Amino acid sequence: QRCTHNEKRGAMREVFKQELTEVQTRLVELAASAEAVMSKASRAFLNSDVTLADEALALASANENRALDLDELVLKVLATQSPVARDLRILVSALRISASLERMGALASHIASIARYRFPGSAVPDSLRSTFEEMGSLDIQLAKKLTEVLENADVDLARAIQAEDERVDELHRSVFEVVLSDSWKENAMFTVDVTLASRYFDRFADHVVDVSSKVTYLTT
């Protein structure tokens, strides 16, 4: 009977390990999807590409549904497995990471929406084009690295992400400096668009840093 009991416990533990692996896999997929949304949204914003904007919006909506499905899986595991210690921390962190990844997709979709509303005109004045090109490029690179961090629990890469976010912060501040300068002659719509877009790019990077910090904490 003891052997049967031990076998049952072993089988349950094996199921639990599979469920944890599934949670991790879904987090990686969410991160990759958020990166794809940002890639499409950034290009739509810079190039007045309404097709890419619509693709970004659809992908962000799908990402939201994926995040909800993941949350339901985590809650089911919490209810059925009653995890403790590190396993419990992993699952609770997964819920918070899922929320951040869903938010990243939403922030990128806001950038796509600006491009959508501005079409066929451009949302980016020439004076800020290079700034937004760099911001978009950095966000995409950061999201790619985050996907790798979630896949491999790479602490060194997580720390590198936190350092790279500083450049996005600098660019975000520089947008405000341009908009508030005496040389800024664009209309109110441009002013609102670039101010909001800059905020969305900056917050996207902030969420990447937040998730990488959580992974570092869990790993170390």
Q: What is the pLDDT of residues 162-194, one digit of tens each?
A: 888 999 999 999 999 999 999 999 899 899 999
Q: Which of 56, 178, 156, 181 is nearest to 106 (CA)?
A: 56
- pLDDT score, position 15: 81
pLDDT value at 116 more than 80: yes
Spatial separation of the C-alpha atoms in residues 109 and 93, rounded to whole Å: 24
CB-CB neighbours of 171 under 10 Å: 20
Name residue, tokens 């940002």.
38
- Is pLDDT larger for residue 3 or for residue 41? 41
Structure tokens at 22: 């599934």
- Mapping DSSP onto H, E and C, the string for 91-115 reads HHHHHHHHHHHHHHHHHHHHHHHHH
pLDDT value at 203 more than 90: yes
> From the CA atom positions of the chain, what is the Rg in Å?
20
Structure letter (DSSP) for residue 183: T
